[in-house]
Amino acid sequence: MRRSTKIATAAVALMGLFALAGCTTDPSVAPPTQSGEPAPSEPAAEGNTWFDQELFDTQDAQRGVAPEGPADEPYLQYINAEMVDTSEYKSEGAKKACFANASISNPWRQTGWITMNQQLKVLQDQGVISEMETRDAQDSDDTQIADIDYFIAEGGCDVFIISPNSTAAMTPAVERACDTGKPVIVFDRGVETDCPVTFIHPIGGFAWGIDTAEFLIDNLEPGDRVVGLRILPGVDVLEQRWAAAEKLFADAGIDAVDHFTGADPAEIKSIISDELAKGDVKGIWMDAGDGAVAAIEAFEDAGVDYPVMTGEDEMSFLRKWKETGLT
């Protein structure tokens, strides 16, 4: 069953409700390598099964929606959220949270982990959370499935917090957590069930793809060639980014090809080098900021003009963007 969007606040914040009252990999994607990363430099398959016109239109419209929530606490803001009644989970005393994390293998996830632990300290001081036991799957579906099953078997979790490694593969494990009767919070990446009490996600799937593709289209000409660099398959938000961009590139007459990189700088440089050998590359599209600097350096190594490109709000890329005067 496809999930429905529910409350959108901060992941650990659901624990505040307690204070008020009382082994398989994703079959829908290409097999990963032994390290759990996608086979590098493989072009994505033709035909995008992740494209959803209704969700594309929804997230396109949401780009202009003013968020609801406290202005001085943007991390508690949300847009167009479907709220649900969580009163059945109210109880007295501090609770134990069990967090099954996909990984902390990139700067974005590392920053989130640091932020989450700061909020954990606040909630511990408030007597809301007693502890948070965390297991890190290190980007492995099989490991995260085992982690979730471990928490279930342990029997000591008052709430499950899950950031899925991939979408389809994690769905049965999330459903097993839901079957315990304890609240389940899924955030960041999604799963194919609506059993979690809370699903927190950005509009950064299709909306990200629309924003980034429009930027490239506005700065390029029909017929120009764009290389898409994608970190891994099978994650809904990442697949949606490319699905949106791919559609807009096709509509604009942009010649776009995409590759999975595993966020490996050496692989990114190799991909760019190979594509430059085929002809001019006018644009670089990325579904995340990992490897943006490596992509720029590949153009420098080849002695060709910088492309129009997208990156992310990572300091290494922003410094390079400022130094080079990239579009």
Which range (1-5, 174-178, 230-234, 306-310) has the least confidence?
1-5
> Is residue 251 scored above 90 in pLDDT?
yes
Q: Are 15 and 128 in contact (CB under 8 A)?
A: yes
CA 63: distance to chain centroid?
17
Q: What confidence tens digit (pLDDT) does each residue in 208-238 have?
A: 999 999 999 999 999 999 999 999 898 888 9
For CA atoms 247, 211, 265, 109, the dihedral sign is negative
**pTM of the shown model:** 0.74
Res. 290 pLDDT band, cuts 50 70 90: confident
Q: Which numeric CATH code is attached to 11-55+65-200? A: 3.40.50.2300
Amino acid at site 252: A
> Is residue 117 scored above 60 in pLDDT?
yes
More confident: 48 or 153: 153
Residue 5 CB coordination number (10 Å): 17
Which range (35-44, 188-197, 212-221, 292-301) has the least confidence?
35-44
Residue 8: per-residue pLDDT:
40
Q: Are 326 and 306 in contact (CB under 8 A)?
A: yes
Q: Which of 309, 286, 293 is nearest to 238 (CA)?
A: 286
Three-state secondary structure string covering 275-293: HHHHCCCCEEEECCCCCHH
Residue 159: per-residue pLDDT:
98
**Average of per-residue pLDDT values in the chain:** 87
What is the spatial order of strands in the sheet that 255-260 belongs to?
255-260, 225-230, 283-286, 308-309
The arithmetic mean of pLDDT across residues 110-129, rounded, is 96
The arithmetic mean of pLDDT across residues 21-37, rounded, is 35
- The strand pair at 129-136 and 95-101 is best described as parallel
CA–CA distance, 56 with 44 (Å, rounded to integer): 20
Going from N- to C-terminal start, the domains of the chain cover: 11-55+65-200, 206-324
Q: What confidence tens digit (pLDDT) does each residue in 258-280 have?
A: 999 998 999 999 999 999 999 99
The arithmetic mean of pLDDT across residues 147-158, rounded, is 98
CA–CA distance, 147 with 261 (Å, rounded to integer): 26
Q: What confidence tens digit (pLDDT) does each residue in 56-66 have?
A: 999 999 999 99
One fold for both 11-55+65-200 and 206-324? Answer: yes
Which range (42-46, 109-113, 158-162, 317-321) has the least confidence?
42-46
> Is residue 43 scored above 80 in pLDDT?
no
- Give backbone dihedrals phi and psi of 100, rounded to 5 degrees, phi first: -100, 105
206-324 folds as Rossmann fold (3.40.50)
Res. 130 pLDDT band, cuts 50 70 90: very high
